[in-house]
Structure 1
Amino acid sequence: MNKKQAVIIGTLLVLIVCAGVLATKLNSPLYVNGVDSGKTNSAVSFNNSDKKNNQSQFFDETKLTRDQKNATTLQTLKTLIDDKNVSKENRDEAAKQYTQLAMNTNYESKIETTLKAKGYEDVICSIEDNKARIIVKGKDKLTDKDTREIKNVVLGIAKIQEVEITTKQ
């Protein structure tokens, strides 16, 4: 088995685990005994007519997609770091990227938790380069006080000044 096959197998394992976590989190198995669970709205149904559930589903699916992408990228970088056939410069660059992605993932989680603790119903945080994108669940447009509060949380945790904030109903 070569390195490429190992990376593919590792990636598939990560995706299987994420699907299991999502199924458990939504408290409905994807399949039971090879048969759909019998509900008209399965855990991964995109045609759910319940608007409130669709809103929650957007946040859950976005977080799951982000976490899967991060896990795959971290696994690929870890493989590069551990490969002795890769040049020292490339391994150092991969280690730097690995550390940055791991820190950003930690910051995203802390920012989401802090904002939820401040009363926001649901939050998605995405950090790329030196920019943070925040999606807040809410019906109304955010006030200047809310915007300042979110920016202060991001600045306090991740030391990022450029923050893009949007609301999603």
Structure 2
Amino acid sequence: RCAGARPPQAAARAVFLHAAPVDQLHRRLKFHGDLAAGRLLGQLLAEGLAGAARPQALVPLPLHRSRLRQRGYDQALELARPLARALRLPLLDGRLARGRATAPQSRLDAAARRRNVRGAFEILAGPSLPAHLALFDDVMTTGATLQEAALALRRAGVQRVDLWVLARA
């Protein structure tokens, strides 16, 4: 099925496997508010993505506003900030939005993950988006969330979307 369908992204790059010690640092950032762990991971990301094809801007995958209220911060944005700064890329925060709350993906199988995020992303009004973007998230498991967000960006006229992640599960 994957070979017959053209994915919305041009490329995907994961800097690490989601294994020790990266998974431990990631959990400290995501669930315990350890922003120092996030800064360290951001530096490691910049080193790992220094040779990647250079997009015109970096777009962090957003949390829904209800999840953001619960957590108090967006871990993808906290990782994307130092990454964008180190690679001298504009950070387009606030153009891609999660228009509806979705169930946590970690509790779902692959098919349920795809259904869960279908149509969940929207592009907010603003200037034209660049032709080449890197969409960033912390961890990619099945890729369903990132692919759905990439599809929204492509529908908005972005010609090339690369997926960049800290780690691949």
TM-score by length of 1: 0.31
TM-score by length of 2: 0.31
Question: Is the helix fraction higher in 1 or 2?
Answer: 1
Q: 1 or 2 for the larger relative contact order (CA 8 Å, sep ≥6)?
A: 2
Question: Is the strand fraction higher in 1 or 2?
Answer: 2
